[in-house]
Structure 1
Amino acid sequence: MEPPAAATTATKITKKHHRHVNNPFPSPPKSLPFLTGGLTFNPVTIPPSPADFPIGRDFRLHWSPKHGGLVSVTHKSRPERSIWSTVPGQAFVSAAAVETEVEESRGSFAVKDGDVHLAFDHQSVDEIRVVGSETESPAAMLTGRVFGANRKRQSKNRDALFFPHREARYTILFSQTSGNEVGFEIRIGDPNVIGIQNPESGRRLMRTTSIKKSWKKAKKGKKKKRKLGFWRSCSWNPRGFAAVTSSEDQETAAAAATATTTPAVRELNRVVVTYSSDRDEMFYGFGEQFSHMEFKGKRVPIFVQEQGIGRGDQPITFAANLVSYRAGGDWSTTYAPSPFYITSTMKSLYLQGYNYSVFDLTRHDRVQIQSHGNRMEGRILHGDTPTELIERFTASIGRPPMLPKWILSGAVVGMQGGTEAVREIWGKLEGYEVPISAFWLQDWVGQRETVIGSQLWWNWEVDNDRYGGWKELVRDLGDRNVRVMTYCNPCLAPTDGKMNRKRSHFEEAKKLDILVKDRDGQPYMVPNTAFSVGMLDFTHPKAASWFKQVLKEMVDDGVRGWMADFGEGLPVDATLFSEECPIEAHNRYPELWAQVNREFVEEWKSNRGEEDEEEDSLVFFMRAGFRDSPKYGMLFWEGDQMVSWQRNDGIKSAVVGLLSGGVSGYALNHSDIGGYCAVDVPFLFGKYRRSEELLMRWMELSAFTAVFRTHEGNKPTSNAQFYSNHNTLSQFARCAKLYKAWYFYRVQLAKEASEKGLPICRHVFLHYPNDRIAGKLTYQQFLVGTEILVVPVLDKGQKKVKAYFPKAGNSSSCCSWQHIWSGERYREEGYEAWVDAPMGFPAVFVRAGSSVGDELLSNLRSFGIL
């Protein structure tokens, strides 16, 4: 009988764009189960006692055969402390062949694991050796096999001489990439099939011409190692199997074993690595996360997408899911994930590449990373403090440039309405003595009404009907040291319905053949609310140069900044110029989008030469990102929060996103003051309108972030605005001055972000890693640098907040925090206190006696607000 034909794992992609009624409670995407298997090692080739192997000059790989075998990595400065170690006696490399299923709907994605064809959950270590021992940077290499057994088939065929046994070779290479970083690379070979002797058959396999010994029937549940010429038995033997690996008889046995089995799989497409974790270890990072700061006990998927509307807060998540498939999102959905973490025990790791991955932290004693593909690359970091680890991580991935000082100097006034509306609001703000750095006018391209509210014409040229006298407006603002900022994104909309257009960027890009294509080779029209758009293919070299020219025309009119929106929605069934897998390219696309914008900024600066002045520099801000985005992006914002007090999608989530992003390298970040997404269909979905109180409290929060910027939201007439009345204007002026008061420190912190990668806004854990209460905080409070502590009001009607003053690691260095309004001092002794926070007086503290605190208080007095 001929063996069955080989099977391949497939990717099934389902589009849900046009479904009008959907499950309001979609189940979490199905995933590969947590793989657990045994570890074996060859006693002939593996040292029988503990041994060390060099990894470069500064690291060692330690092997111990005790407790079933263990591998760990240490740094020479602290050889007693492992920065990565496996679970004793357990497989640390596994592999599988799994069907991939992806559901997609308007920027929301669900990546699922379908049928599992193979799961190699057991591992052997056959050899550990040093590669390049004669060089200055030797590497440690482990080789062996991953394998599994089909127990169902074994139970049905007790009389068979052989069982089919599949296995694959793997290699792991540990190499030093810097003085504080170890790179690891895991490669999984293609699976092959060999025969396994059936211990239940009562027969014996003999080969008298080559060997005079017989196999002894292995006993179930015991391990047996025996060198039999060029025969070798499988050292892992809980089920009583002995592996046949003779080159001749393997082929015979494999053919017999597979003659009646299911089709073989040509390729493994999941790599799984498992390693140890402490029971109480806390995990931070994973990019910009909005619901949680600490992730022990959770499965964290790493895939760029829309964050969702509600993200678990009800009833809005129910409603969003009902009308658009998975549009509500959940706790894990985010625009800017990163396969990176830091733990409370000062361990840190990140993955390289762009494959979809899941970090499974649900077990108390181990971590499991499941990654798509047949290889996994990453880095393990050494450091003694959270800030040290962030510095070393960002030294590797890249850091943002120094922001132009002008955007840090005052409020960025986000509004719409046209030239006359801008001039009118400008006059009002001058009357309230509001320090202004820029007007951000996203509707410079014109507006149209859609089902979700007012939306822009995605054709990146000024709409002269809406903004008549555009150049004069830009010039007049510039004369008063106020810049103009605009809006663009990597998508282009057909402009057939726009009568006053001068150019159609969509038609130009289509003619140049630089749009993402569908599988038929036509421009991929991506649905977006009531209209569809083409998406620029930045893997095409002409796309970047063409878009830079679009930006140049915008900047030539005097614009000095823009929102570079979107980037998270590359379809996973697209066809790209580079011919790369679109699922992998999906996570890379926001980095390409950032890179194009950043290259334009640098080229524009270079072309200006001696004419360039720092105060005339360009800046752009983005929401979508991945691991390396901080290298290319200049500034980030957190996307579209609800105009609410909610935990998962509202003012609280804005704080969590700010702090988790900061841990992950997003050092310069902020949110829309007041949030963005309003919903005004009370009889169906509830009423979500921006209240005056929410807007004013969000002003207080944003006064202590990198940039202080307003947004009218998707339904401006349903929302309270900073210009709504005297109360909102007065509060806006007060908070803008509060923001201005620490300008000197903000510039210092922005410089530190560009040089060290440390965020302006910091989770308390970063400077108090030994205080477990501080480590468990989420949105309640945060540090600005090291000298300011902010405890924002984040609940409706609240006029007091509970502040926690973390315990200093060294009692001798204990200091006091001074309340900026009352002058009352609180010592760093690890205790809580209720603090008054009436409107206009957010609970803010400075280090008593610090130069930063003294200057901030002095500036508040000079502005007349203290």
Structure 2
Amino acid sequence: MKFTDGFWHARPGVGLHYAREVDRIVAGDGTLTAIAPTKTITTRGATLNQPVLTTVLSAPMDNVITVRVTHHKGRPDPRRFDLDVAGDARPTATVEDGHGQLTSGALTAHLDVGTSFELRFQAGDEVVTRSAAKSMAWASVAPDAAIDRGPIQLRTNPATGYMLAQLDLGVGEVVYGLGERFGPYAKNGQAVDIWNEDGGTSSEQAYKNIPFYLTNRGYGVFVNDPGHVSFEVGSEAVERVQFSVEGETLEYHVIYGPDPKTILERYTALTGRPAEVPAWSYGLWLTTSFTTDYDEATVNSFIDGMAERDIPLSVFHFDCFWMRDFNWCDLEWDPRVFPDPDGMLERMHARGLRVCVWINPYIAQQSPLFDEGMAAGYLVKRADGSVWQWDRWQAGMGLIDFTSPEATAWFKDKLRALVRQGVDSFKTDFGERIPVDVVWADGSDPLRMHNLYAHLYNQAVHEVLVEERGEGEAVLFARSASAGGQQFPVHWGGDSTASYASMAETLRGGLSLALSGFGYWSHDIGGFEGVPDAAVFKRWTAFGLLSSHSRMHGSDSYRVPWMFGEDEADEQSAVSVARRFARLKNRLMPYLLGAGREAHATGTPVMRPMLLEFPGDPSVTYVDRQYMLGGDLLVAPVFSTEGDVELYLPEGRWASLLTGELVDGGGWRRERHQFDSLPVYLRPGAVIPLGAREDRPDTDHLVDLTLLAHPGEGDDWSRTVEVARPDGSTAAFTVRRDGADLVAESAYAADGWSLQGVDGRRVAAEAGTARLA
């Protein structure tokens, strides 16, 4: 939201009341409070007839400083995100000779009493960022002011006051994150509204809006407000990032790293770490697609077809029409096409498959749940007490009120019955079209509930699976989210189209989401809207099966590989490509599970922008067409039919996972790949644990385990990797140089594991040691 007309003027109808100076600073127990007049105080009379901004600094954990700026404190404080503030915070606050500072770990905030306002954040002598002159304000806004209020432009009663703050952008500083955004990966120059919308992947709107960004200068910023937060990223003020909220109080957290992994670790310590997901969820998911015709026979034909073609399948997903049309959601199988759901689920489980079903929190008027929920008061209401309804999506649909504990428990019980019937997972679709002209059961501000609704919805569904299946077995396939939503994985990218351009924008969205604290991510292989040609489908298949999670799904057409080419003698056919990469992913399971454990423990995502692994390399600043899968595999999807791809390899000697070829990094390279190939490189010094089984992801990965080693330079090089055991513990393996040999050692007593070099040489372990000469 832009308030200014150039550098000197406010827009018509806008009054900008900037913090001009600091009148006084008071140190408390771990807090610092500054009083900032919005006029320069030259006489006692100048203290009258002006707004004053009160700035309180505190620290919820070490290396994080909270800034809370208030104009009028008499208004109720709006609902904020739930944060874990029971950490290791040991802040110190001092005021001496008019200089106040609050220190949290390595990060210190500085304020000075004087005639120019400046809030400065430093790590030692280095200025991390600062909020200087004309950078903190209360804005009074007339109803007819010449500003674009963004997605809430059409509200009946527009806000009359906004709080805003700006932080400096240094030369060469680049901003990332702000949720799953499909536009440019680097956010500089953009205006970003934190407001969940169902807008597809080819628009400026986003399903997962997160008011958190990080930069390549060692810090991140989290605005703790679930409502409409408007970011101007080097756009309105080109030297600064501005963020503004409606109301009288603005709260944000400056999170010091200095490296991006540490920033994410601290951010997810505040907002929640991703849950671990089960091994079976990493395998290939296949769906009925959205509007296609299907029944149990159709489903069986797909499952049989995958088995007959040796394409391993882990999960089958039933999309919307598992329920009867006009009844979404009644959470009942449509008896016309699924007359024996209990038997069907039992038969699918007997084939080693897991089952996912589509749901959303919208209750159609034709659903029996509508009358039940209306009678009990479980649906969101209008101000006059009537149930809020509209006809967009489902005729006469209402909305479950997740601010009501009773309504939440009611909905969870309906899902619990499905889990006990045999459903293993839920696709939690929608959750973005949340109205603001409503009254919530707990009295929440409708403006804040619009984004927060997705969190409460996914949390309720995830809790059912944890309660019924246990920790580590719960997994969603979720579309919407707000800050903290990473606790309820997995999330997918929403409605893409069947094109290379949409494939690329989908990846940009995933990279942005990864830098917003989300550990796992997926997308619709082949694109959702339209029918992909065979080339797009095959290229997207390779990309999708080298993502954290993999699903073939479409809107009005099926996505089974043989519909895009199945010549068994052709290694480039869609069936051959799907088989190759689905089996490869299953072999990578010990490695992927390790990356998932890291996501759960530290917040580092499984799919990683290059920035996370190579923060000191300026060449990765804008790289958005490749990523690291875990810490040791570089993946560059191919976005062309011809197979031409440009990729960047950082310094060192890299090794192709698919061919074993060694390539020197330190620059850009061009390659051409057939459909059954793409650039997948082992990082120098990598040790990749590979499972022996290609047919499924959820096996004992220690049986006939292979350690694929690409040793680093130096006689003292060594690397230890851990592989999950069936009981949930881990077995450690260390690979090191011993003169001209590679030696692998482990205390793991079972026979069968081996050491393999990227050149294909292999040796089996003997008595816990393998030596590759």
The interval holding the TM-score normalised by the smaller chain is: 0.7 to 0.9
- Secondary structure in 2 matching 1:400: coil
Partner of 2:446: 582
Partner of 1:482: 353
2:347 alignment partner AA: D
Distance 2:226 2:442 in 1: 15
2:543 corresponds, among 681, 701, 712, to 701
- Determine if contact 1:268/1:374 at 8 Å carries over to the other structure: no
Distance 2:405 2:320 in 1: 29
- Counterparts of 1:465-614 in structure 2 under 5 Å? 465-495=336-366, 504-529=368-393, 531-605=395-469
Distance 1:182 1:396 in 2: 12
How many residue pairs match? The answer is: 606
By how many angstroms is 1:302 displaced? 1.3
Partner of 2:108: none
Deviations 1:839-866 (A, max 9, x none): 111221112563217748699x99xxx9
Partner of 1:436: 313
Partner of 1:194: none
- Determine if contact 1:140/1:174 at 8 Å carries over to the other structure: yes
- Determine if contact 1:278/1:364 at 8 Å carries over to the other structure: no
Partner of 2:258: 384
By how many angstroms is 1:721 displaced? 5.4
By how many angstroms is 1:390 displaced? 0.7
- Secondary structure in 1 matching 2:555: coil
1:124 corresponds, among 21, 35, 42, to 21
Distance 1:699 1:591 in 2: 30
- Counterparts of 1:731-750 in structure 2 under 5 Å? 731-750=577-596
Distance 1:577 1:35, change over 3 A: farther
2:668 corresponds, among 820, 824, 832, to 832
Distance 1:525 1:775, change over 3 A: same
By how many angstroms is 1:547 displaced? 0.5
Distance 1:490 1:697 in 2: 34
- Secondary structure in 1 matching 2:13: strand
Distance 1:267 1:743 in 2: 51
> Are positions 1:413 and 2:286 aligned together?
yes
- Determine if contact 1:704/1:739 at 8 Å carries over to the other structure: yes
By how many angstroms is 1:399 displaced? 1.0
Partner of 1:324: none
- Counterparts of 1:749-788 in structure 2 under 5 Å? 749-778=595-624, 780-788=625-633
2:187 corresponds, among 285, 295, 298, to 295
By how many angstroms is 1:270 displaced? 0.7
Which range is displaced more, 585-594 or 434-443?
A: 434-443
Q: Structure 1 stretches of 5 or more lacking a match?
A: 1-29, 39-95, 97-113, 133-137, 150-161, 192-233, 237-261, 312-330, 449-454, 496-502, 607-611, 679-688, 808-814
By how many angstroms is 1:166 displaced? 4.9
> Are positions 1:822 and 2:659 aligned together?
yes
**TM-score (structure 1 length as normaliser):** 0.66
Deviations 1:819-847 (A, max 9, x none): 22332222332x11112211111221112
Distance 1:783 1:746 in 2: 12
Partner of 2:527: 675
- Secondary structure in 2 matching 1:340: strand
- Determine if contact 2:404/2:442 at 8 Å carries over to the other structure: yes
By how many angstroms is 1:123 displaced? 2.1
- Determine if contact 1:445/1:458 at 8 Å carries over to the other structure: no
By how many angstroms is 1:510 displaced? 1.4
Distance 1:456 1:577, change over 3 A: closer
By how many angstroms is 1:752 displaced? 0.8
- Counterparts of 1:591-670 in structure 2 under 5 Å? 591-605=455-469, 617-631=473-487, 633-646=488-501, 650-670=502-522
**TM-score (structure 2 length as normaliser):** 0.73
Distance 2:590 2:216 in 1: 32
Distance 1:742 1:174, change over 3 A: same
- Determine if contact 1:695/1:720 at 8 Å carries over to the other structure: no
1:716 corresponds, among 550, 553, 557, to 557
2:217 alignment partner AA: T
Partner of 1:32: 3
By how many angstroms is 1:469 displaced? 2.2
2:637 alignment partner AA: P
Distance 1:34 1:603 in 2: 54
Distance 2:648 2:575 in 1: 32
- Determine if contact 2:374/2:387 at 8 Å carries over to the other structure: yes
- Determine if contact 1:708/1:739 at 8 Å carries over to the other structure: no
Distance 1:423 1:851, change over 3 A: same
Percent of aligned positions with the same letter in both sequences? 23
Distance 1:714 1:589 in 2: 25
2:489 alignment partner AA: M
By how many angstroms is 1:464 displaced? 2.0
- Determine if contact 1:445/1:457 at 8 Å carries over to the other structure: no
2:64 corresponds, among 181, 196, 203, to 181
1:463 alignment partner AA: D
By how many angstroms is 1:297 displaced? 2.0
2:636 corresponds, among 788, 791, 796, to 791
- Determine if contact 2:328/2:362 at 8 Å carries over to the other structure: no
Distance 2:255 2:201 in 1: 35
By how many angstroms is 1:642 displaced? 1.5
- Secondary structure in 2 matching 1:834: strand
Which range is displaced more, 721-730 or 659-668?
A: 721-730
1:635 alignment partner AA: V
Deviations 1:225-245 (A, max 9, x none): xxxxxxxxx979xxxxxxxxx
By how many angstroms is 1:365 displaced? 2.7
Which range is displaced more, 561-570 or 725-734?
A: 725-734
Distance 2:14 2:190 in 1: 26
Distance 1:379 1:419, change over 3 A: same
Distance 1:433 1:287 in 2: 37
- Secondary structure in 2 matching 1:167: coil
- Determine if contact 2:200/2:496 at 8 Å carries over to the other structure: no
By how many angstroms is 1:542 displaced? 1.4
Distance 2:12 2:460 in 1: 39
By how many angstroms is 1:267 displaced? 9.4
Distance 1:443 1:235 in 2: 62
By how many angstroms is 1:528 displaced? 2.1
Distance 1:637 1:856 in 2: 31
Distance 1:588 1:715, change over 3 A: same
Distance 1:514 1:270 in 2: 33
- Determine if contact 1:148/1:167 at 8 Å carries over to the other structure: no
Partner of 1:340: 212
Distance 1:544 1:287, change over 3 A: same
- Greater Cα radius of gyration, structure 1 or 2: 1
Distance 1:555 1:476, change over 3 A: same
Q: Structure 2 stretches of 5 or more lacking a match?
A: 75-113, 117-144, 146-156, 567-572, 691-705, 710-752, 761-773
Distance 1:163 1:36, change over 3 A: farther
1:470 alignment partner AA: P
- Counterparts of 1:254-293 in structure 2 under 5 Å? 269-293=161-185
Distance 1:739 1:267 in 2: 51
- Determine if contact 1:444/1:466 at 8 Å carries over to the other structure: no
RMSD of aligned residue pairs (Cα, Å): 3.2
Deviations 1:67-120 (A, max 9, x none): xxxxxxxxxxxxxxxxxxxxxxxxxxxxx9xxxxxxxxxxxxxxxxx9735321
1:123 alignment partner AA: R
Distance 1:117 1:382, change over 3 A: closer
